[in-house]
């Protein structure tokens, strides 16, 4: 289970780890973006340089809150809830936060109780 925190404007924030090709781990705070429905992770090109991830597909057009934008898709490695995952990562120019997308909710349970300060993500056991 990952305990998250609420940001100043009510954002849902979780600490995850990005794993570089050389095995180095980078703990980062990521914003859960429930509007990012088609992916697992989105980062800015600047973060990509230290990670050395491999390009899978260049210039995929996606609709965002700011209109249509282009993203490159990279193969990334992350740790969430103590487990390592290899996932497609959307990489773009205009991302100010590291975003985790709602695709994680296909395998994880989100618990939110803002009045009690409860914010967690945990893996759901497969049946």
Domains and CATH numbers, the chain: 2-123 (2.40.70.10)
pTM: 0.89
Looking at residue 65, its pLDDT comes to: 65
CA distance 122 to 114: 17
Looking at residue 95, its pLDDT comes to: 84
pLDDT in tens, 23-65: 999 999 999 998 888 899 999 998 888 899 999 999 887 777 6
Strand partners, 4: none
Nearest to 4 by CA among 55, 80, 58, 78: 80
Other Cβ atoms closer than 10 A to 92: 18
Instruction: Tell me the chain's radius of gyration from C-alpha atoms.
Output: 14
Share of the chain above pLDDT 90, in %: 68
Looking at residue 81, its pLDDT comes to: 87
Q: In this model, does residue 109 exceed pLDDT 80? A: yes
Q: Which residues of 61-80 are buried (b: 16+ CB within 10 A; e: fewer)?
A: eeebeeeebebbbbebbbbb
Q: In this model, does residue 110 exceed pLDDT 90? A: yes
């Amino acid at each position: 289970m990952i305990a998250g925190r609420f940001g100043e404007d009510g954002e849902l924030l979780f600490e995850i780890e990005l794993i570089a090709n050389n095995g180095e781990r980078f703990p980062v705070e990521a914003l859960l973006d429930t509007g990012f429905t088609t992916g697992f992770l989105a980062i800015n090109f600047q973060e990509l340089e230290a990670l050395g991830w491999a390009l899978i597909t260049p210039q995929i057009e996606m609709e965002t809150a700011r209109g249509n934008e282009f993203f490159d898709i990279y193969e990334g490695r992350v740790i969430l809830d103590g487990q390592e995952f290899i996932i497609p990562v959307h990489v773009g120019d205009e991302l100010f936060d590291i975003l985790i997308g709602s695709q994680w909710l296909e395998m994880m349970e989100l618990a939110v109780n803002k009045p009690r300060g409860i914010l967690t993500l945990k893996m759901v056991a497969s049946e």
